[in-house]
Amino acid sequence: MRPSALNVRLVWALPVSVSLLLMAGCASNNLESQLGDTGHSTQRDYGDSHTFPVPAEIQDNVDFWRHVYGVWSLSEVAIHDDEHLGVIYEVTRIPGLTQASYNQLQQSWLKDRVDHYRFRLADLERRVRNNQPLTADDKTLLAKFDRAGGVAALYGASERVRAQRGIREKFRRGVEISGRYDRIFREIMRQYGLPEDLAYLPHVESSFQSNARSSAGASGIWQFMPATGRQYMTVNGQIDERYDPIIAAEGAARYLSEAHRRLGSWPLAITSYNHGQGGIANAKSQQGGDIGRIVRHYKGSAFGFASRNYYAEFIAAREVAGHPERYFPEGIRYEEPWRYDKIVLRDSMPVDHLAQHYGTSKQQLAELNLHWRDPVIKGDGHLPAGTTVWLPAGTTRRIASQPPAYARPAAVARTEPATRPAAATPAATRTAVAMATPATTPVAAAKAPVTAGTKTQAQPAAAKSKTRYHVVQPQETLYRVAVQNGISVEELRKLNKMRPDDNKILPGQRLIVGI
């Protein structure tokens, strides 16, 4: 049974005196914070207030999204003020069959409910402006605006009526899927020196749906736009790495690292993931660096509902996903963690050759490699050099120990990443990293098969005394170079006298990867 919402009024067309109630505290002991008729929640601890602070100005916003993610189901909709999220006029059940989207009758019903409150609020504003007598219901509603932002908050409220559907079921499914990626996402964040909990961001972006695509063109679990994606990964008609959750996670880490360096705080860096670094830099120049003040007072032309609420949504998602027992007492069945071998092609080759060599099917490869586009999957083009290839776990070790008669590939080791166990995620992720030889023989070459946080096997004494170099290829990142050469990002920076926060490398640059 889900966390109860017994004190939330379920209404159809009840009198305004009954309908105009804020969401009350959930009766379940699993939800510690309560929202009373005052419209303000008790202050709750969302953890790590230094890294991810929750100022008073956005407390109601966080509590609102906490309910959207963990309390309100797909069959419920909240009608509320879109600036003061503590002012909620109604939480009601949607009539008819619950589906992913509203049918025509439900759309008409919802429009009627929204129009009802718009008319009611416009009438109340008119009477307040004209100093006309107010009913008891009027005074109750006006008091809610007074507590939310002063009586002036009522002005224009009739134009700010918004409906928000609950997504508890969708969010719960996203939590289950996150078991597949949580460890490796956290490892990537650690490699870039970022807070591990940024791994929760896909809950806000896509609910961990790998094929998610927004109407604006953002794609994948991390929802990169095409132009932004090209700054951090390969995005073209053959390969679109926005759809590879792990490669895109590295791109997100690079973006967030740059945003934090430029903007100076995690609330601003996270908000820029939605609004852009330039937009948030402008907001900071006008309002200062406090996210609460920016949300409450900044009026940038593109700083709309989504941008104002983005950081609050992240905090709410972190709370709900981080404490699933509070919100999903029925239990969570986490997916198995990512356990696939990884190779990187040195040269171009067709998918058919790759599948044949590694004893798998083109269909299975396509299912594992979500970043491959239709032309290469259908055989209309080759996989370009530098393409990441995910293979069934153990494939590279099997091929290395049992080479085909026509070609003997060099051995590929499988290593275990040094990752911190996640609370709900079982055994460690296994990844093998190698390079492939020319397209005529799609076999793995002996190129430092390692994973993040591990080192290659000891080399002979003669080899140790020689400095090893790596020439940066197009689309390569500091993290990839470190992984391919069996060292950490921190060690790679030290070898090349780079700053601790410097992630910038250029194609053709020669990096020291061992001495």
Q: Is residue 93 part of a domain?
A: yes
**Do residues 31 and 117 share a domain?**
yes
Give the per-residue pLDDT at 149.
83
Beta strands in 280-437 (DSSP E): 341-345, 388-391, 435-436
Question: Which residue, among 379, 382, 377, has the nearest Cα to 439 in the 3D structure?
Answer: 382
Answer for the pair 22, 88: CB distance below 8 angstroms, yes or no: yes
**Measured between alpha carbons, how far apart are the two ends of the chain, in Å?**
59
39 in helix, strand or coil?
coil
Q: Is residue 5 part of a domain?
A: no
**Do residues 465 and 352 share a domain?**
yes
Give the per-residue pLDDT at 45.
66
**Do residues 182 and 323 share a domain?**
yes
**Do residues 105 and 126 share a domain?**
yes
β-sheet bridge partners, residue 88 = 80
β-sheet bridge partners, residue 342 = 390
60 in helix, strand or coil?
helix
Q: Is residue 266 part of a domain?
A: yes
**Do residues 139 and 225 share a domain?**
no
**Do residues 128 and 246 share a domain?**
no
**Do residues 251 and 278 share a domain?**
yes
Q: Is residue 222 part of a domain?
A: yes
Q: Which is it for the CA torsion 283, 284, 287, 291, positive or negative?
A: positive
Q: Give the domain CATH number at 249.
A: 1.10.530.10
Between β-strands 444-445 and 388-391, what pairing exists: parallel, antiparallel or unpaired? unpaired
Measured CA to CA, the distance from residue 315 to residue 57 in angstroms comes to: 14
Q: What is the dihedral of CA 507, 511, 513, 515, to 10 degrees?
A: 160
Give the per-residue pLDDT at 119.
97
Give the per-residue pLDDT at 114.
97
Q: Is residue 288 part of a domain?
A: yes
Among 304, 327, 350, residue at a domain's last position: 327
**Do residues 271 and 194 share a domain?**
yes
**Do residues 142 and 31 share a domain?**
yes
Q: What secondary structure does DSSP assign to 287-316, as a single string?
A: H-S-HHHHHHH---TT--HHHHHHHHHHHH
Residue range of the domain that includes 132? 16-42+74-165
Q: Is residue 8 part of a domain?
A: no
Question: Which residue, among 345, 432, 353, 355, has the nearest Cα to 389 in the 3D structure?
Answer: 345
Q: Is residue 7 part of a domain?
A: no
Give the per-residue pLDDT at 486.
78
Answer for the pair 257, 192: CB distance below 8 angstroms, yes or no: yes
Helix intervals (H) in 369-429: 374-377, 395-401
Q: Is residue 135 part of a domain?
A: yes
Domains of the chain: total: 3
Give the per-residue pLDDT at 44.
64
- How distant, in Å, are the alpha carbons of 135, 376, 382, 475 from that of 238? 65, 6, 8, 14
Measured CA to CA, the distance from residue 287 to residue 323 in angstroms comes to: 33
- Cα angle 95-97-101, degrees, rounded to a multiple of 5: 95
Among 127, 149, 165, residue at a domain's last position: 165
Give the per-residue pLDDT at 466.
81
Answer for the pair 428, 464: CB distance below 8 angstroms, yes or no: no
**Do residues 316 and 462 share a domain?**
no
Among 279, 299, 327, residue at a domain's last position: 327
**Do residues 315 and 381 share a domain?**
no
- How distant, in Å, are the alpha carbons of 87, 142, 154, 186 from that of 146? 10, 6, 8, 43
Residue 497 neighbours by CB distance under 10 Å: 8
**Do residues 398 and 264 share a domain?**
no
Q: What is the pLDDT along the chain (515 residues), one digit of tens a residue?
A: 333 332 232 332 333 323 333 333 332 322 333 333 323 344 566 766 789 999 999 999 999 999 999 999 999 999 999 999 999 999 999 999 999 999 999 999 999 999 999 999 999 999 999 999 999 999 998 998 998 888 899 999 999 999 999 999 999 999 999 999 999 999 999 999 999 999 999 999 999 999 999 988 999 999 999 999 999 999 999 999 999 999 999 999 999 999 999 999 999 999 999 999 999 999 999 999 999 999 999 999 899 999 999 999 999 999 999 999 999 999 999 999 999 999 999 889 999 999 998 999 999 999 999 999 999 999 999 999 999 999 999 998 888 776 443 333 332 223 333 333 343 343 233 333 333 333 333 444 333 333 333 333 334 444 445 888 998 887 778 877 887 787 888 889 999 999 887 888 987 899 999 88
